[in-house]
Amino acid sequence: MGSYNYYKMFGCFNRKFKISEKEPPLDVKEAFLRYSDMGPNEPYMTSDQLLKFLIEYQKEEDSTFSDAERITEQIFQRCHHTAWRPGLTLDDFFYFLFQDDLNGPIKPQVHHDMTAPLQHYFIYTGHNSYLTGNQLSSDCSETPIIKALENGVRGIELDLWPNSAKDNVHVLHGRTLTTPVLLPKCLKSIKEHAFVKSPYPVIITLEDHLTPELQAKVAEMVMQIFGDMLYYPESGCLEEFPSPEELNHKIILSTKPPKEYLESKNIKDQETSLSMEDFDDDLDETKADYKSDSDQDDEDNDGYHQKSGSPAAPQYKHLIAIHAGKAKRSPRHSLRTRIDKVNRLSLSEQVLEKAASSYGKDVVRFTQKNILRVFPKGTRVTSTNFKPITGWMHGAQMVAFNMQGYGKFLWMMHGMFRSNGGCGYVKKPDLLMKTCRSNEVFDPKLPWPVRQTLKVTVYMGDGWRLDFSHTHFDSFSPPDFYTKVHIIGVPADAAKRKTRIIEDDWGPNWNEEFIFPLRIPELALLRIEVREYDISDKDDFGGQTCLPVSELRPGIRAVPLYDKKGQKFKSVRLLMRFKFE
């Protein structure tokens, strides 16, 4: 070990925390000189020239002179506290490029076509949306539902169970130690916060373990609380899903329709059913002697029907806009079965992985007309999540996540739904919706040729000195930052790169370019993570973000970073360049 590392490691001397002045990268200087005039003292860039830079260099073809003028005025106000100057100096121009609110990496507005049927979209979806923590003993509350909606989540899951007296409805994770919350509290929270972030529809998936009497009570609650906000088809069953635009500011219920008449227990037992919707269904993946959840649910509901001797509440059934089916015989049979009405099918992450591996094209074909929901396996008791890209590659619209969870897979989910203005609906690529003459559909396992090349330049970073204490990374010297850049997508596109380590600098300059050949850029995510090198321990976390490649704006961009929970840092950001060839 060298003497420098020895002293740094054991703190035998205290290095000064000097903060070096940020110097614009060479590409920034060249771009400024290319689009500026020489003034009496130094070059400056007028609003006209800034507009030319935005259109030609940043590829913002829809920019207007008003846009350039607005940016110029904001820079003058922020940097010089005046509304007018002859033009932007190099320092002003550099400042502009480093502001993510003025020069971010993706469009902040909704810009996808929102008039296609619902199954044409990836939908931001939560799993067990009422849980505050782990899956076994945490509290159930309306608070995580509110937080999810305020973050743009459009799919909320509620598990409905009778209370001990069988006269009211609790929301809780059944057969666990989670403490319940009353259903009206959850429904009112949804009503009040559903459209704070996005005007597009909120889908409530109900996992129903109720008696017919309680189902009727739920129907009354739903009608009373949501009123005209609730969408349900007059015919009772959809032949085609409406579009997000048609369902603006609407609440939609989705669950398995209740049974209307008693069924023969003997006939039911002759059917082989696979669980698709519950915690015990998840455990079935790891415990072969467990009965499937749909069997258990049917037994529970049949018991209620037998005790009550009454049909299921007709009003409750009428309010279910998206019918959820169960997979009889096998998932493949359900995916292949031709149906006249559109519906929703749910698969655990393990079943989806097996289906994708063995008959992935059947999954894709199913999602071209119907909705597929994928949920975490039940053994994720600490509320971790799974890799969502497999579901998206096969067209699954509702990849359901524990939004109160943590980890890089949740970062991917956050990244996907930064698309399209963060409205919670992302238009699926056309390749997932197309069928050729021979009835073939998209297959991510095929050896696709390279269709696009993405060049990513990591210039520099800044802001850690403002968002972190001076001793957060190292007690005796400035941090040693490096950046990791990953591509997540179809297997052939997956890639990892990282910059060199810049020692002792709060504002590191890397100036490194990485080239990523992409076969299916429509499904690729760019994951970025900054780490601080530590010779004696695990490298420290310095920020992360995940961005859909299809949403990246070309040119030099300010890329804001987020903490481990997905909250945006106030100041930490990178200056990067994206170029497509």
Catalytic residues: 127, 173
Comparing C-alpha atoms, which of 205, 197, 249, 256 is closest to residue 227? Answer: 249
3-state secondary structure 66-130: HHHHHHHHHHHHHHHCCCCCCCECHHHHHHHHCCHHHHCCCCCCCCCCCCCCHHHEEECEECCCC
Residue 311 buriedness (CB in 10 A; 0-12 / 13-18 / 19+) = middle
Distance CA 2, CA 295 (A): 66
Distance CA 162, CA 293 (A): 17
Dmax over CA atoms of the chain, in Å, equals 94
Distance CA 396, CA 123 (A): 9
Give strand pairing partners of 344. Answer: 324, 371
Distance CA 250, CA 320 (A): 13
Please spell the DSSP secondary structure of 461-502, one letter per residue: EE-HHHHS-TTSS-SSS---EEEEEEEESSGGG-EEEEPPPB
Q: Which DSSP letter does residue 404 get? A: T
Comparing C-alpha atoms, which of 201, 122, 196, 214 is closest to residue 156? Answer: 201
C-beta of residue 325 within 8 angstroms of C-beta of residue 345: yes
What amino acid occupies position 64? T
C-beta of residue 129 within 8 angstroms of C-beta of residue 148: yes
Quickly count: other Cβ atoms within 10 Å of residue 111's Cβ: 14
Positive or negative CA dihedral for 335, 317, 231, 157?
Answer: negative
Helix, strand, coil distribution of the chain in percent, nearest 5: 30, 25, 45
Backbone angles phi and psi of 358, in degrees to 5: -95, -35
| Residue 488, both tokens | 């997540």
